[in-house]
Structure 1
Amino acid sequence: MKLSNRVLSSLLLISFIFLAATTEMGLADKICKTRSDRFSGVCFSDNICAIICGQFEKFESGHCEFDGALRRCLCTKAC
């Protein structure tokens, strides 16, 4: 019984170390936001914002978000 507890403890420790290492390697990237240069006016549609950011500004995606008092199109990508 002691051997199986040691094996289980070792596996848990190895799993924890692997999880910590993958997080440090960038699998949990931060998301950077930048106001769209090509979208003008108030942003009402996340889909349109994402299309403009992805196709015309070479970002990964985009969404509408309040920037001050108005909703603006913010383009997003992994930092």
Structure 2
Amino acid sequence: MERNYSKKKKTEREKEEEEKKKGENQYCLSQSLQFKGFCLSSDTCAEVCRKEGFQGGKCKLENAVRKCFCTKPC
């Protein structure tokens, strides 16, 4: 019985990951050209991105460095 529970739990986890990916796919990311330094605050990143003409932005880890990525509809 425990085995069936594990399979069910895994299926739910997979569904959650799929939903998360669907939400992410609605927006495309582009690294900010104007943001300088390490991205420590997604709010600051979003502000810079809006000045660049994007809808917003968020900090994202890339190559072990937190960088500012701007978001826009795909």
- Residues in 2 aligned to 1:42 and 1:67: alpha-carbon distance in whole angstroms: 11
Q: What is the match of residue 37 of structure 2?
A: 41
Residue 66 (1) aligns with residue 61 (2): yes
Structure 2 residue runs of 5 or longer lacking an equivalent are: 1-24
Of the two, which has the highest radius of gyration?
1
Amino acid at match of 2:70: C
- TM-score normalised by length of structure 1: 0.60
Structure 1 residue runs of 5 or longer lacking an equivalent are: 1-28
Deviation at 1:38, TM superposition (A): 0.1
> How big is the alpha-carbon RMSD for the aligned residues of Structure 1 and Structure 2?
1.1
1:11-32 deviation line (CA, Å, top 9, x unaligned)? xxxxxxxxxxxxxxxxxx7210
Q: What is the match of residue 51 of structure 1?
A: 47
The correspondence for 2:71, drawn from 42, 66, 76, is: 76
Residue 30 (1) aligns with residue 13 (2): no
- TM-score normalised by length of structure 2: 0.64
Deviation at 1:41, TM superposition (A): 1.0
Report the secondary structure of 1:49's partner residue.
helix
Deviation at 1:42, TM superposition (A): 0.6
Percentage identity across paired residues of the two chains = 40
Query: May I ask how many residue pairs the two structures share in their alignment?
Result: 50
